[in-house]
Amino acid sequence: MASAAWVIIWQFKVSPISQSIFEQYYGQDGEWVQLFRQHPGYLWSKLYQDVQEKNTYLTCDYWQSLQAYKEFKEQFRQPYQQLDIYCEKLTTAEALIMETMTNIDLSFM
């Protein structure tokens, strides 16, 4: 079954001494995912590590809609900002790569 989802993709450069902590915070059961799961419009997240540049990561966060993501950001503004401030210490650079609607296959869920 196909459905549309809002996806946000970030790229991070992580200092080598912070990689394991970064992976814990951004991984499948990390602090970010735990925060996102508090909103019913959150679907899932995926963390990717570049195979050639081991300190480069992408995160892909999937939401039911742009509206669900905006509601989350409004409702959880304070904990989001606190977590973001802490996690900035783990990275040397970050960039928003893309926000877009995409089709997803929900049959595996």
pLDDT at 107: 66
CATH of the domain at 62: 3.30.70.100
Which neighbouring-strand residues pair with 94? 12
Q: What is the pTM of this model?
A: 0.91
In a domain, 109, yes or no: no
Total of domains in the chain: 1
In a domain, 52, yes or no: yes
In a domain, 67, yes or no: yes
Q: Which range marks the domain in which residue 92 is found?
A: 2-104
In a domain, 62, yes or no: yes
Inter-residue contact 80 to 36 (CB < 8 Å): no
In a domain, 71, yes or no: yes
DSSP 12-28: EEE-GGGHHHHHHHHST
Which residues of the chain fall below pLDDT 70? 1-2, 106-109
pLDDT at 100: 95
**Two structure tokens written together for 58:** 């992408």
pLDDT at 106: 66
